[in-house]
């Protein structure tokens, strides 16, 4: 008997090896997706996609969900917002779990991150500047007139909606 024949046990099925032939796609997937899932778990995807709908536009502007792991959702936020979020944590968890349709988040962890960039206002259009100036021509010069002209430029420059 050779050494290989002595090690073979009749009870155990031999694993199928695909040395030269095609391999099933399922055998390749774990190695391919493991690095991506280490960075961001698949359970985080629905929370990321619908974050503004879950928490509302005000909180979505200052927070970002980072990672959902073992029931803990890590949320990045600016420093002062973290305190407010701690007070709202029960409501936030209820909203998130309600949106997902299951209890996926049992704890929130807040990461104080650099402040999110503020949206940049588009530069005023020349016709908006002229229209705003015409609208306040009848007012006496002063800070009120200047403030109303600036407001008019912003209103006339911003897109409708």
Tell me how far apart the alpha carbons of residues 132 and 150 are, in angstroms, rounded to a whole number: 8
Tell me how far apart the alpha carbons of residues 97 and 74 are, in angstroms, rounded to a whole number: 15
Tell me how many degrees the CA angle 38-26-4 measures, rounded to the nearest 5: 105
pLDDT of 34 reads: 66
pLDDT of 7 reads: 53
Residue 73 is given by DSSP the state E
pLDDT, block means (10 residues), the chain with 161 residues: 52 61 71 63 72 86 85 85 87 89 89 64 74 91 89 78 55
Given 3-state DSSP classes, what are the helix, strand and coil percentages for the chain, each rounded to the nearest 5? 50, 10, 35
CATH classification of 39-112, choosing from 2.30.30, 3.30.300, 3.40.50, 3.30.70? 3.30.300
Residue-range domain boundaries for the chain: 39-112, 126-157
Burial 81-110 (b: 16+ CB within 10 A, else e): bbeebeeebeebbebbeebbeeebbeebeb
pLDDT of 137 reads: 92
**Helices (H), strands (E): how many in the chain?**
9, 3
CB of 15 within 8 A of CB of 61? Answer: no
92-97: list long-range contacts, CB under 8 Å, 24+ apart: 92/55, 95/54, 95/55, 96/47, 96/54
């Amino acid at each position: 008997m050779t050494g290989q024949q002595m090690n073979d046990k009749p009870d155990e099925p031999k694993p199928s090896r695909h040395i030269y032939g095609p391999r099933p796609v399922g055998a390749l997937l774990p190695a391919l997706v493991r690095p991506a899932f280490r960075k961001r778990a698949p359970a985080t995807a629905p929370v990321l996609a619908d974050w503004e709908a879950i928490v509302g536009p005000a909180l979505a502007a200052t927070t970002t969900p980072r990672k959902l792991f073992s029931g803990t959702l890590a949320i990045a936020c600016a420093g002062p917002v973290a305190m407010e979020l701690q007070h709202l944590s029960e409501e936030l968890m209820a909203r998130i779990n309600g949106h997902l349709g299951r209890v996926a988040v049992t704890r929130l962890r807040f990461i104080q991150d650099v402040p999110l960039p503020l949206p940049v206002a588009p530069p005023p259009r020349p016709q908006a500047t002229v229209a705003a100036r015409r609208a306040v021509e009848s007012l006496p010069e002063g800070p009120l007139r200047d403030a109303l002209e600036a407001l008019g430029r912003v209103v006339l420059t911003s897109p409708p909606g």
